[in-house]
Amino acid sequence: MRENGKMKNDYKVKTENITVDYGEKRALHGINLNISSNEVTSLIGPSGCGKSTFIRCINRMNDLIDGCKVNGKILIDNEDINNQNMDVVELRAKVGMVFQKPNPFPKSIFDNVAYGPRIHGTVKNKEELENMVRKSLKRAGLWNEVHDRLDASGLSLSGGQQQRLCIARAIAVNPDILLMDEPCSALDPIATAVIEELINELKERYTIMIVTHSMQQAARLSQKTAYFHLGEMIEFGDTSSIFTNPKHEMTEAYISGKIG
């Protein structure tokens, strides 16, 4: 179900027995999942199975939810991110996130992308900042559409453009890992195609985890796929083998549309 001929230490993200509780309610029951660098991993599964909860563990976004408790070990580059010494700010600079609903800041397009580099001090002067913004917008495939109106509000863009702006904002910080929680769920097929292409390019540099409800998208984009069901990870492996030859009957049922 896991090993792929790689050494254990090569994994970018390793999770060991993660459980998440929302108050009394347990949302994840011991997830073990190892993710290699520069791969796209899809998380699929029926609604409410804990995909978002899991992905939010990786950059400790669950800290923000009152009464949410995460237990277990999460290692990124062999460092335990739940460790007391871990600085959440640094962690989130290293692990970027793109949300289901595009959520640009109600600021200008430029300021949206520049925000991360500014607060992390990764750029030294205005010129570097401008370069960084341009580079990120180009990589997010948005530059051509917005280069002449960087002062316009981020909210003035279309939904698909906003989502690409959010991706640009996330990659402007130069993260190692990019978490994407249903990034295309609010988009039409054309905008989706643009973003999928973008993800394909981004995986050269980043380790990407993407939550999706579209089996086709998972199949098109990812090298690895994990199937979640009711807070358990049922199956994890190469995307091709999961989709053509699922080992678990629940996976098969889900993929063939019997669970939904």
Ligand X SMILES: Nc1ncnc2c1ncn2[C@@H]1O[C@H](COP(=O)(O)OP(=O)(O)OP(=O)(O)O)[C@@H](O)[C@H]1O
Q: Which residues contact 23 (CB under 8 A, 6 or more apart)?
A: 67
What separation in angstroms does the CA of 196 have from each of 89, 174, 184, 193?
Answer: 28, 19, 9, 5
Closest CA to 238 of 251, 249, 223: 223
Query: What is the maximal distance between C-alpha atoms in the chain?
Result: 56
DSSP state of 108: B
Give phi and psi for 163, each to the nearest 5: -65, -40
Q: Between 52 and 217, whose beta carbon lies closer to Mg ion?
A: 52
For position 170 contacting other proteins by CB under 8 A, the verdict is yes
Near other proteins in 54-73, by CB under 8 A: 59, 61, 64, 66
Give phi and psi for 218, each to the nearest 5: -60, -45
For position 44 contacting ligand X by CB under 6 A, the verdict is no
Rounded Cα distance, 7 and 195, in Å: 32
Rounded Cα distance, 205 and 198, in Å: 12
For position 15 contacting ligand X by CB under 6 A, the verdict is no
Q: Between 202 and 255, whose beta carbon lies closer to other proteins?
A: 202
Which runs of E-coded beta strand occur in the chain? 11-22, 25-36, 40-44, 68-76, 79-80, 95-98, 177-181, 207-211, 224-229, 232-238
Residue carrying structure tokens 């990589």: 139
For position 251 contacting Mg ion by CB under 5 A, the verdict is no
For position 166 contacting other proteins by CB under 8 A, the verdict is yes
| CA atoms within 13 A of residue 63's CA, in its CB half-sphere | 12
Q: Between 53 and 112, whose beta carbon lies closer to ligand X?
A: 53
For position 106 contacting ligand X by CB under 6 A, the verdict is no
Size of the site for Mg ion (CB under 5 A): 1
* Smallest separation (angstroms) from other proteins to the CB of 243: 30
Q: Are strands 95-98 and 68-76 parallel, antiparallel or unpaired?
A: unpaired
Task: From the list ligand X, other proteins, Mg ion, none, pick the one residue 59 interacts with, judged by a Cβ distance below 5 to 8 Å according to partner type.
Answer: other proteins
Size of the site for ligand X (CB under 6 A): 11
Task: From the list other proteins, Mg ion, ligand X, none, pick the one residue 99 interacts with, judged by a Cβ distance below 5 to 8 Å according to partner type.
Answer: other proteins
For position 92 contacting other proteins by CB under 8 A, the verdict is yes
Among 1, 2, 4, 48, binds ligand X (CB under 6 A): 48
Which listed range, 126-134, 165-173, 222-230, 241-249, lies at the site for other proteins (CB under 8 A)? 165-173
Among 146, 173, 184, 221, binds other proteins (CB under 8 A): 173
Site string for ligand X, 57-76 (x = CB under 6 A): --------x-----------
For position 34 contacting Mg ion by CB under 5 A, the verdict is no
